[in-house]
Amino acid sequence: MATKPEAAGWRPATLAIHAGLKEAVFGEVSPPIFQTSTFTFPDAHVGAGRFSGAQPGYIYTRMGNPTVQALERAVAALEGGQWALAAASGMAAISAVLLGLLQAGERLLAGDCLYGPSLTVITRELPRFGIETRLVDTSDPAALEQALAARPRLLFLETPTNPTLKLTDLTEAARLAQAVGTLLVVDNTFATPYCQRPLEHQADIVVHSLTKALNGHSDVIGGMIVGRAPDLHRRLKGFLTLTGGVMDPHQAWLILRGLRTLTLRLDRSQANALALATWLAAHPQVAWVIYPGLPGHPQHQIAARQMPGFGFMISFGLKSGRAGAMTFLNHLRLISLAVSLGGVESLIQHPASMTHAGVPQSQREALGITEDMIRFSVGCEDLADLQEDLAQALAKL
């Protein structure tokens, strides 16, 4: 079966719908789910050839599956990568990169503001294996350059960061990393390849939680690693296969189905986010708003330069502090109080007591994850309904 000609210059909306699919065998429009653990060989010589790598073909779903590979091809095409590897979750993807590429005695430099479990793996788990870790504000080029002088093996960062929405200049970060032989790994979950393509800024690897906007329906867990260099693909493919953190074919099919509406969903959610961020910034109960699309964002110019879209995430603080935040959250009627993000439905949460509760309070406060902070994943509902829900909850303060 021939793959559709993705290299023909399709734009993101077309790629989201068609990338990764092969020409149909029976005229099917939707790719089949190859729900099988193992694959038969036509004869013993073919089986031996597949195991040796001399012949193409499938062996065992932990080692490769057609449905999973369709999703891998699709996300690789959207990110502009040469290859992609699907993982069981976003944290499985991140852990595979960190543990698959680092070894005892090597150094990891990471952004100081990351998703809570990412920070925990980096600061608590990696040192157990003799890996030296250091955190730095990657949005500060001078601080980043100074930290890179130690020549770490990897630089791992998020942009925008979770939940402070701070931005790193990817072109500059890649230049500084390359100068000392450091691999740049970017978690692109918040932006998605529709709003940012780190590989185009010379990042070496991109990771995603597919659970979020790429799937978009809050109904399945998954992760992805995307890159260009063949040697990194070989290393990470081998690590994922051996350690077993791979994706199930039905899981892959669900995410592939969600991926098809990526640009439609994000066009709506981004438009909602910009309008609501502007409205919140003018509300008397709101102390501050952070959204990359607002001209007042400290790094708005970086966002305008490296992000075709500003995303669907807003963080804001209330003048009434933590008590006000809890009262506000408890009175929302439409917007769901839940962690995660990127679904068609709007989700909202309190990072200091939820997603980042495992980060020490002093560290949270230093990063700007304050007690008054609320993280808001804006969905695809009618803008007026979302605004009315925010207004009635704010009126309870």
Residues tagged active-site? 62, 115, 187, 212
Q: Which of 119, 111, 35 is nearest to 357 (CA)?
A: 119
Q: What length is written for the chain?
A: 397
User: What contacts 246, CB < 8 A, 6 or more positions away?
Assistant: 61, 62, 68, 86, 87, 88, 240
Other CB atoms within a 10 A radius of the CB of residue 106 amount to 16
Whose tokens are 């920070």? That residue is 119
CA distance 277 to 374: 12
Encoded tokens for 101: 């590429």
Q: Residue 237 carries which DSSP code?
A: H
Other CB atoms within a 10 A radius of the CB of residue 319 amount to 13
Whose tokens are 């005229």? That residue is 27
Strand order through the sheet with 373-377: 286-290, 313-318, 373-377, 347-349, 336-337
Q: Which of 396, 386, 373 is nearest to 346 (CA)?
A: 386
